[in-house]
Amino acid sequence: MQFLFPSFLWALLSLSVPIIIHLFYFRRFKKVYFTNVKYLKEIKEETSNRNKLKNLLVLLARCLAVAALVLAFAQPFIPKGGVAKSGINNISVFIDNSYSMTSTKDDIPLIDYSKDKARSIINSYGDADQFQILTHDFEGRHQRILSKEDALMYINDIQITPDVQLISTILNRQRQLFENAAGNKISYIISDFQKSITDLSNYQDTLMEVNLVPVQSVREKNISVDSVWFEGPVPFLNQNNKLLVRIRNNSPEDAEQIKVSFIKDAQEKPVGLRDITANSYITDTINLSLDVSGWHQAVVQVSDYPVQFDDKYFISFNVPDTVKALFINDSDGDKFMTALFNGVKNFSLSNQNVNQLQYQKFQTFDIIMLNDLKTITSGLSNELLQYLRNGGKVLVFPGKSAELSTYNNFMSFAGGNMFGNSNISKREVSQINTEEFIFSDVYINTGGNLKLPVTSFSYNFNVQSSIGEEKLLTYRDGGSFLSKYRIGDGQLFVCASPLSNDINDLVYNAEVFVPLIYKMAISTIKQKPIAFTINNNLVINTENKRMSGDFVYKVTDGKNEIIPGQIPTGNLISLDLSDQIKHSGFYDLLLSENIESKLAFNYDRRESDMTLISESGLEGINPANVKIKLIPSVLQANISGAIYEKDKGIVLWKWFAIFALLFLAIESLLIRYFKN
């Protein structure tokens, strides 16, 4: 047993007062004369013994009452798990303010329950202690040490947020603030402890005590639009563009007749009614035929109640009006390539002589093709490599009399296989890679009547196994006719044979040649995002079109305007929005008041899974080197007492106060009913 105020035990010296009174109390007797004192003596002796017993019992009761009262003021306790806490306390309270906390318990939102618990926790500590109030927002003002009064004021300002943090990230944030602080470091996590964010097993810290305060309701049913994406790299005009939609049932019960609808450019189109089994998802397809180029905005939504923050998924995408190709030659352009581009809508071809190139315009083309060049100069090589790294596509048809050393210098920097000796034998292409985007969904059957290219002149490649080559068309002898390499965000396509029709009949095989060039032009490794997820570290990369430092990008929803942090890197610029986006929906990206692009933002879908870790499950979490304690719901009604007992141990002062009253009552009974 230990004492909170051990110095008060000096008051036990007051026990000497009733003892002294007892020892030095002399009662004055009055003399009365009797003729016969024989019987009187016997009565006197008997009365004197009873008086002594009564006085001793009264003295004992008084001493015990005084002792119990002194011990009560000294506040004795039995510490739990070692020594009780003493000194200043550094208290960090996290209040879960994510969308899952809008669920109700007894018709009261969980966020309000959490704020009440946080106030009780803070009031359980002294005015000299230090506090931190933390939420999912991770605002700068929350990374401050507060007084007790300020901490209580901060709680009043907490609102629901779309931001979501992992519990391990929250604990690390709490630890950072009090890392160098002296005294006790105590963390309180007030949350519904969704399974999707509770990762306590990833946290390790031996110095901070972690207290879990679960505030939970009955698990709600929830259907969410999980994600949306295009099957192809970019949506295209007058094509059947497939938009894939994943709808998830986050409940342990089957969902029937869920209404799915699609809204594009403010026009709603019903998709249908869908059944989704428990804790699973379906992937639906929406076919889009786009007849207008430019920016489009769309929403995929489901009808669901009561959790609705994830019922809508916003997307925005740009439909190019023209795919631009650059054909670089030593002389005139190729008539077959020109005929191909003239016959396809929304495609344009620019033929340029290798000696008249404008390198600064390379980024305006979707694909660059080299045809029958004798040499690839170092300047052209460097510009092509930069174009590739920024996401461009390059197709190389080597020249029949090419200086292979210049080609191989370019291939070396690009990370591709080198050109080897020439091969003048007849070679037939026998295999087509239909798993790759270029030829995927092009042919119903690749066998039988499909005619593949034949060449009478080609180059062998010096193959290195360490190079990431992907063969698209393969000769019967196993050599590569057409290969693909990834360079940065771009793609390099290399053909083993020149394009000249007298040695390569590729141009005569329309079923191969047309989809080859068409899908190369629209292919991409890094698809532009059609939506962004709202979080605290939101960064958007876009093309840098600033004329000078005086021009800045802005993001606006029509009501509020945001100026993000702007970090230019070459032809790109990173826009740091941090935690400035708070609501899902559509936004415009402005530069000098001109709309550069349309942006779509959605809430984090991690909150969609309403699965909670029960109190028994939280009690079982015990990562190594971490002091984790659970304050269950049965103790939260008197959370201040639970905290005091946790920090100080089993409190005994109330029992000693009761004993003091009991002994005083015994004293009164002795005086009143113990007859002499």
Of 148 and 78, the structure prediction assigns the larger pLDDT to 148
Of 11 and 311, the structure prediction assigns the larger pLDDT to 311
Render pLDDT for 481-509 as a digit per residue (tens, 0 to 9): 999 999 988 899 999 999 988 999 998 98
CA distance 379 to 332: 21
Q: 5-19, 258-272, 395-409: lowest mean pLDDT where?
A: 5-19
Kindly list the distances between the CA atom of residue 357 and the CA atoms of 233, 414, 520, in Å, as whole numbers in the listed order: 28, 21, 22
Q: Per-residue confidence at 50, pLDDT binned at 50, 70, 90? A: low
Is residue 538 helix, strand or coil?
strand
**Mean pLDDT, the chain, as a whole number?**
85
Q: 185-194, 355-364, 541-550: lowest mean pLDDT where?
A: 541-550
542 neighbors 464 (Cβ within 8 angstroms): no
223-320: what fold? Immunoglobulin-like (2.60.40)
Which among 64, 110, 77, 86 has a CA at the least distance from the CA of 1? 77
Residue-level pLDDT at 625? 57
Amino acid at 623: P
CA distance 440 to 443: 7
Render pLDDT for 136-145 as a digit per residue (tens, 0 to 9): 988 888 888 9
Residue-level pLDDT at 493? 95
Pairing of strands 89-95, 130-134: parallel
Residue-level pLDDT at 58? 81
Task: Answer whether residue 72 shows pLDDT above 60.
Answer: yes
Amino acid at 627: K
CA distance 186 to 170: 13
Residue-level pLDDT at 218? 80
Tell me the two tokens of residue 575.
């826009």
| Whole-number percent of the chain with pLDDT over 70 | 89
CA 175 to mean position of chain CA atoms: 19
Residue-level pLDDT at 7? 78
178 phi and psi, to 5 degrees? Answer: -100, 20
223 neighbors 304 (Cβ within 8 angstroms): yes
CA 282 to mean position of chain CA atoms: 23
Task: Answer whether residue 280 shows pLDDT above 80.
Answer: yes
pTM above 0.85, yes or no: no
CA distance 495 to 473: 9
Task: Answer whether residue 535 shows pLDDT above 50.
Answer: yes
The set of residues, in sequence order, having a beta carbon less than 8 Å from that of 620 and lying 6+ positions away, is none
- Average the pLDDT over 121-139 and give the result: 92
Tell me how crowded residue 550 is: count the other CB atoms within 10 A of its CB.
Answer: 7
Tell me the two tokens of residue 89.
């306390």
Q: Is 488 left (phi over 0), alpha (psi -120 to 50) or beta?
A: left
Q: Decide: residue 345, CB within 10 A, 0-12 exposed, 13-18 middle, 19+ buried.
A: exposed
Residue-level pLDDT at 403? 93
Task: Answer whether residue 528 shows pLDDT above 90.
Answer: no
For 323-522, the fitting CATH number among 3.30.1130.10, 3.40.50.300, 3.30.1490.20, 3.40.50.880 is 3.40.50.880
Pairing of strands 255-264, 294-302: antiparallel
Kindly list the distances between the CA atom of residue 247 and the CA atoms of 13, 23, 260, 271, 399, in Å, as whole numbers in the listed order: 77, 90, 9, 12, 52
For residue 252, cis peptide bond before it (omega within 30 degrees of 0): no
Residue-level pLDDT at 141? 81
CATH number of 89-219+611-648: 3.40.50.410
Domain range annotation of the chain? 2-81+653-673, 89-219+611-648, 223-320, 323-522, 532-598
Render pLDDT for 428-480 as a digit per residue (tens, 0 to 9): 999 999 888 888 877 766 666 788 999 999 999 998 876 788 999 999 999 99
CA 341 to mean position of chain CA atoms: 46
Tell me the two tokens of residue 471.
């063969």
Render pLDDT for 583-595 as a digit per residue (tens, 0 to 9): 999 999 999 888 9
- Can 223-320 and 323-522 be said to share one CATH topology? no
- Average the pLDDT over 568-575 and give the result: 84
**H, E, C per residue of 560-572:** CEECCEEEEECCE
Kindly list the distances between the CA atom of residue 507 and the CA atoms of 141, 335, 455, 456, 522, in Å, as whole numbers in the listed order: 66, 10, 11, 14, 20
CA distance 218 to 216: 7
- Average the pLDDT over 236-257 and give the result: 89
Residue-level pLDDT at 26? 47
